[in-house]
Amino acid sequence: MQGFRCAPLERVRIGVVGIGRRGEWAVKRLSKIDGLEVTGIADIEEYRLKEGNAALEKESKPPAKEYLGAESYLALADDPNVDLVYITAPWPVHVPAALAALERGKHCAVEVPCAMTIEDAWRLVEAAEKAKRHVIPLENCCYGDEELLALNLCRQGVLGEIVHAEGAYIHNLAAENFAEVDGCKYFTALRGSWDRWRLKWNELHDGNPYPTHGLGPICQYMNVNRSDKLDFVVSVSSKQAGITEFAKSQFGVDSPEAKTPYKLGDMNTSIFRTAKGRTIMIQHAVQTPRPYSRINLVSGTKGTLTGYPFRVALLPNYEKWLDGEELVKFKEKYTHPFVLSSGELAKKIGGHGGMDFMMDLRWSHCLRNGLAMDADVYDAATWSALTELSEISVAKGSSPVEVPDFTRGGWKTAEPLGIVDII
C-alpha cells in the first residue's frame, strides 16, 4: 500500500462514525469542501445523530441517513451510498469500524490512535492490503503551520542532517475527563466523552495512549517508513497523582472518583532509535497543570527548530535564537506552499486553528485526483503502535522493545513525502 493510488473519485460520499464533539466538527468541515458529501452518520446516541443532521442543515446540505446503535458502523459500512468511512468514535471503536469499512470495499479515515494494540495494527495493515483501499490516519498535527514549516526546512536541508527530534502531547484534560460528573466545578458546560471512556482507559493502562500528535509529524520529517524505520523504544512513566488530586478537589477525598486507582502515570517519556541511528523523544502528560505543548523540536547538523514558543537557531550563531524581524522573515521564507495556498481559508473555517480543515482538504484532494496519500496504513500502524509498546516497556522496567516493521521491508524503497499542495 506504499504509494498506493486508486481511480479518482469525482465525488466522495462519506459516512461518519461517532457524532460527539469531534464528529460534529468533522461533519461541519467536510460539508464545506467541494466534492465531498456526508451521506451517512452513525452513533450510539440518537440525540447525537440529530445534532449531526442539524449541522448539515445549517450548512444547507441534504440530511444524512442515520444509523443508531453500538454496532451501527456495520450497517453504515453496508450503505452503497458511502465511499469512505470517517471514524471519530472512541478509541475502542476505531479498528472494528475500520475493518468493517475495508471488508466492504470502502476507504476509511481513522482518528488517532488508529489502533490501541499491536495485534489490531497488524489487522488494519492486512485488511487494507487485501481490500486495496486507503486507511488514512486523521493526524491533524501533520498539517499545523509550524509542523509544515519544519517539514519544509527538513526537505530543503536548512537544518542539515536530522539526528534528533522531540514531540509531545502535553494537555491538561483532568477537568474534561470528569465533565459530566455531578459536582464538577470546572467545564460544567463541556460535554464530556461518552461513558467517560478516556478516563476508564487511564484506570487500566500505563504508558502513552495518545502518541501520534508528536510522533506523526516527526516521522514525516525523518522519512520513517520511507528510507528509515523505528528500530526500538524505551519508555518510562512517573507515578500517577494528578487525576487523584483533581478528583479530591472536586468530589472530596472519600468520593468514588478520588478512591479509584488510576494506572496512567502523570508523565510518560518514550525514546526511539531508528535504523539510521536517529533518536526521537515522545512525551505524554494529560493531568498536570502545565501549558499546552507538542514541543515539535527538530535538531540537525546545521540548526535546530522548536515550538512553544517557536524558535530557530542556525550555524554559525547557534547560541542565539532568531528573534524579532529576523524570525518573521525566516518564517515567511520557509512557509510551506500548502499553508500559502490554503492556510487563510483554513483558519476561517477552523478546527484546531485550521489544522483539521487542512488535513481534510489534503486527503480529499488526493482521493479525488487518484494520488497517493501523505500518510498510509503503515504510518497509521507505526505511529499508533507506541500505545502498547510504551506500556510493555514500562511494565518490563523500561526495557527496550522492538518496533514492528509493518512495511515488511518496504521502507527501504518507499518514496518520501514531498512538499505537497492542492494546486
Query: Would residue 346 count as lying in a domain?
Result: no
Q: Does 164 have pLDDT greater than 70?
A: yes
Query: Would residue 330 count as lying in a domain?
Result: yes
Q: Which of 111, 132, 156 is the last residue of a domain?
A: 111
Query: Would residue 137 count as lying in a domain?
Result: no
Question: What is the domain-level CATH number for residue 291?
Answer: 3.30.360.10
Same domain, 314 and 249: yes
Residues 6+ away with beta carbon under 8 Å from 229? 274, 275, 382, 403, 405, 407, 411
Query: Would residue 352 count as lying in a domain?
Result: no
Q: Which residue has the cell 518507499?
A: 414
pLDDT at residue number 190: 45
Query: Would residue 128 count as lying in a domain?
Result: no
Query: Would residue 62 count as lying in a domain?
Result: yes
The pLDDT mean for the chain works out to: 95
Do strands 279-285 and 268-274 pair parallel, antiparallel, or not at all (unpaired)?
A: antiparallel
Same domain, 91 and 153: no
Residue 72 to residues 17, 173, 249, 294: CA-CA distances in angstroms?
A: 8, 29, 38, 34
Same domain, 73 and 177: no
User: Could you give the angle at the alpha carbon of 233 between the alpha carbons of 406 and 3, nearest 5°?
Assistant: 25
Same domain, 96 and 147: no
pLDDT at residue number 186: 46
Question: What is the domain-level CATH number for residue 72?
Answer: 3.40.50.720
Helix axes 212-221, 377-384, angle to 10 degrees: 130
Q: 240: closest CA among 203, 209, 211?
A: 203
Which DSSP letter does residue 17 get?
E
Same domain, 245 and 153: yes
Same domain, 34 and 148: no
Same domain, 77 and 204: no
Residues 6+ away with beta carbon under 8 Å from 87? 17, 18, 73, 93, 94, 97, 98, 101, 108, 109, 110, 111
Q: pLDDT tens for residues 368-398?
A: 999 999 999 999 999 999 999 999 999 999 9
Same domain, 179 and 51: no
pLDDT at residue number 180: 59
CB contact at 8 A, 351 and 113:
no
Q: 82: closest CA among 167, 147, 17, 154?
A: 17
* Cell numbers that stand for 150 in this block: 519544519
* Secondary structure class of 291 (helix, strand, coil): coil
Q: Which residue has the cell 499508533?
A: 384
How far is the C-alpha of 78 from the C-alpha of 100, rounded, in Å? 9
Q: 199: closest CA among 262, 251, 250?
A: 262
Q: Which of 90, 111, 132 is the last residue of a domain?
A: 111
Please give the helix or strand (H or E) that residue 407 lies within, else none.
Answer: none
Which DSSP letter does residue 399 get?
-
**Tally of domains within the chain:** 2
Same domain, 221 and 327: yes
Same domain, 92 and 163: no
CB contact at 8 A, 68 and 18:
no
Alpha helical stretches, state H, 252-336: 256-259, 324-334
Q: pLDDT tens for residues 330-374?
A: 999 999 999 999 999 999 998 899 999 999 999 999 999 999 999
Q: Which of 111, 131, 157 is the last residue of a domain?
A: 111
Query: Would residue 368 count as lying in a domain?
Result: no
pLDDT band at 193 (very low <50, low <70, confident <90, very high): low
Query: What residues make up the domain containing 41?
Result: 12-111
Measured over the CA atoms of residue 214, residue 216, residue 219 and residue 225, the dihedral's sign is: positive
Same domain, 101 and 190: no
Residues 6+ away with beta carbon under 8 Å from 85? 14, 15, 16, 17, 73, 76, 77, 97, 98, 100, 101, 106, 107, 108, 109
pLDDT at residue number 176: 83
Residue 406 to residues 2, 121, 185, 376: CA-CA distances in angstroms?
A: 11, 8, 45, 11
Query: Would residue 6 count as lying in a domain?
Result: no
- The average pLDDT across 61-88 equals 98
Q: Which residue has the cell 520529517?
A: 221
Same domain, 231 and 280: yes
